[in-house]
Amino acid sequence: MATETSKATGSDAFGTWDNYSVLVVDDEPGMRNFLSRALAGRCAEIRAASSVEEAAALLEQRPFDLLILDISLPGKSGVAWLHELREHGYCEDVILITAFADVETAIGALRAGAADFILKPFRLDQILAAVGRCFDRALLQRENYLLRRAIADQPGVAANPVGLVGESHAMQEIRVLVRRLAPLPSTVLITGESGTGKEVAAAALHQLSGRAGRPFVPVNCSAIAPDLIESELFGHTKGAFTGADSARGGLFVYAQGGTLFLDEVGELPLPLQAKLLRVLEEKRVRAVGSEREIPIDVRIIAATNRDLEAGVREGRFRRDLFYRLDVVRIHIPPLSSRPDDVGPLAWHFMNRLSAQLGVPPLALLPGTLNHMRAYPWPGNVRELRNVIERSLILGRFPLDCIGVESRAAAPGEAAADETLAAVERRHILKVLAESAGNKSEAARRLDLSRKTLERKCAAWQV
């Protein structure tokens, strides 16, 4: 039997789930029609199938955010199929429905991994309430997981992305290019030194695209242990490895319909580069420990501070993956080459951070701005942001500012004539000492990558 399709056209008092899709599996034409009509106008797309075989074929073609699955189906039962799906890493919610049930059946359905269990005949409000609970729970789980990652891996960056601020010719061209590329499905490679704002550009591409209503999922490829990154990206089944107590979808699954931002993609180990290439070409992922492939609909934006062409020549980066990622490139120059952006960025961070910290903003006098424009900013925009935050905390700028009276510094405070580089060195070493020499902890507190911290410490011979 051919599958049936309904497209969303309206809404009602139960609300809409415009970004979600549903697959209805029931052998009764009347029930398929009832559920399709009930969800039409509320969900982005509803597909219906009359058997497990038809439903499995649809899942091979594209992902669905929710399954509504009858228990009594010809051939294989809904419960048996659900068991198989869970064993192969399927993590989306499933609502089981049946006309014949007892307590034992209900318990078996929930043990199989059903999110809800509804007995036929049911009212319209019952099924809509169950669907709403599933979508609310799925959204909350994804937001919580991504927020935990943002807090743990990139404090303050992913959670609070800023705009593409700047008046330089380079930044104006970047804004034009971002607006041009955002609506397109093309893969984008963003290059530039660490701290220049590559994630900001990626977030802007997402927010200006048709995927803005779906997740923007950033992942720092250099911050994940090599033996865990495959599970992080592709997910894993229960028992796939020690500690895998339950199945979990990977970041590709969490980004369904949205954008996956692969930051520092040049740090991926070669074996995983091959698997990533296959996913990008086939648009399917396989969880660790699973034999089943899951179709994905995700836009890829990658970023690197490395010279990937040199990596290709040296055998550290796959040539075919490089060409697959380098469809369109955006290069963000270092802040030292665009001094016209220092002032707008400083004002932007001053207003934003003063509100966050609950302290009054500082005046950015012409002499202060001139000094800041002349500074080379080796840490780029991230360093500028940290300087502004430090200045707000201290109540003055920790650099030789015009209009700031020179005086002796209190213990732990910057002297008025101390250079910005010296302030940075003293602050980093202080945090490193407070972290008992633990560079990973110090890097987290400083909002730096461990590699950046190690490079600075090596230059200072500490």
Place of tokens 């500690």: 243
pLDDT range class, residue 2, cuts 50, 70, 90: very low
pLDDT range class, residue 6, cuts 50, 70, 90: very low
Same-domain check for residues 159 and 208: yes
With 0-12 / 13-18 / 19 or more C-beta atoms within 10 angstroms meaning exposed / middle / buried, residue 162 is middle
Whether 137 has a pLDDT exceeding 80, the answer reads no
pLDDT at 398: 65
Examine residue 147 and state whether it is found in any structural domain, yes or no: no
Q: What is the C-alpha R_g of the chain?
A: 26
Residue pair 338/166 in contact (Cβ under 8 Å)? The answer is yes
* Region 84-107 average pLDDT: 76
Residue pair 394/414 in contact (Cβ under 8 Å)? The answer is yes
Query: What's the CATH code of the domain at 344?
Result: 1.10.8.60
Residue type, 352: R
Among 78, 110, 137, residue at a domain's last position: 137
Examine residue 145 and state whether it is found in any structural domain, yes or no: no
Whether 104 has a pLDDT exceeding 90, the answer reads no
Examine residue 143 and state whether it is found in any structural domain, yes or no: no
Q: What torsion do the CA atoms of 236, 237, 243, 249 make, to the nearest 10 degrees?
A: 40
Instruction: Specify the higher pLDDT residue, 344 or 117.
Output: 344
> d(Cα 190, Cα 182) in Å, to the nearest integer?
13
Examine residue 144 and state whether it is found in any structural domain, yes or no: no
Same-domain check for residues 326 and 304: yes
pLDDT at 333: 94
pLDDT at 261: 96
Whether 363 has a pLDDT exceeding 70, the answer reads yes
Question: Tens of pLDDT along 66-78?
Answer: 899 998 888 888 8
Among 306, 333, 360, residue at a domain's last position: 333
Q: Cis peptide leading into 411, omega within 30 of 0?
A: no
Same-domain check for residues 197 and 177: yes
pLDDT at 11: 42
Residue pair 111/90 in contact (Cβ under 8 Å)? The answer is no
With 0-12 / 13-18 / 19 or more C-beta atoms within 10 angstroms meaning exposed / middle / buried, residue 428 is buried
Same-domain check for residues 324 and 344: no
Residue pair 293/286 in contact (Cβ under 8 Å)? The answer is yes
User: Among 239-253, 257-271, 378-392, where is mean pLDDT lowest?
Assistant: 239-253
CA nearest neighbour of 431 among 445, 419, 418: 445
Residue-level length of the chain: 462
pLDDT at 453: 83
Examine residue 148 and state whether it is found in any structural domain, yes or no: no
Among 137, 162, 180, residue at a domain's last position: 137
Place of tokens 């925009």: 381
pLDDT at 380: 92
Same-domain check for residues 433 and 448: yes
Examine residue 274 and state whether it is found in any structural domain, yes or no: yes
Same-domain check for residues 55 and 93: yes
Whether 162 has a pLDDT exceeding 50, the answer reads no
Same-domain check for residues 301 and 265: yes
Of the ranges 37-46, 123-132, 178-187, 398-407, which is most confident? 178-187
Sequence-ordered list of residues with C-beta below 8 angstroms from that of 86, at least 6 positions apart, any chain = 112, 113, 238, 247
CA nearest neighbour of 202 among 215, 216, 214: 216
Question: Tens of pLDDT along 239-261?
Answer: 777 777 777 778 898 888 899 99
Same-domain check for residues 311 and 346: no
* Region 156-170 average pLDDT: 64
Whether 5 has a pLDDT exceeding 50, the answer reads no
> d(Cα 217, Cα 87) in Å, to the nearest integer?
25
Whether 413 has a pLDDT exceeding 50, the answer reads no
CA nearest neighbour of 197 among 234, 154, 230: 154
**H-only helix segments in 88-216:** 103-111, 124-153, 169-181, 198-207
Examine residue 179 and state whether it is found in any structural domain, yes or no: yes
Query: What's the CATH code of the domain at 223?
Result: 3.40.50.300
Instruction: Specify the higher pLDDT residue, 410 or 171.
Output: 171
Whether 325 has a pLDDT exceeding 70, the answer reads yes
Same-domain check for residues 283 and 304: yes
User: Among 211-225, 346-360, 417-431, where is mean pLDDT lowest?
Assistant: 417-431
With 0-12 / 13-18 / 19 or more C-beta atoms within 10 angstroms meaning exposed / middle / buried, residue 245 is exposed
Whether 365 has a pLDDT exceeding 80, the answer reads no
Same-domain check for residues 307 and 360: no
* Region 231-238 average pLDDT: 85
pLDDT at 334: 94
pLDDT at 462: 63
What six digits make up the tokens of 351? 């207003």
Place of tokens 């809904």: 78
Whether 43 has a pLDDT exceeding 90, the answer reads no
> d(Cα 354, Cα 356) in Å, to the nearest integer?
5
pLDDT at 304: 95
Question: What integer best gives the mean pLDDT of the chain?
Answer: 80
Same-domain check for residues 297 and 426: no
Into how many domains does the chain fold?
A: 3
Same-domain check for residues 167 and 265: yes
192 sits in the region (left: phi over 0; alpha: psi -120 to 50; else beta) called left
Whether 354 has a pLDDT exceeding 60, the answer reads yes
Share of the chain above pLDDT 70, in %: 84
Q: How does DSSP classify residue 450?
A: H
User: Among 5-19, 306-320, 355-369, where is mean pLDDT lowest?
Assistant: 5-19
pLDDT at 103: 63
Containing domain of residue 371, as a range? 338-401+408-459
CA nearest neighbour of 63 among 19, 33, 17: 19
Examine residue 368 and state whether it is found in any structural domain, yes or no: yes
Query: What's the CATH code of the domain at 96?
Result: 3.40.50.2300
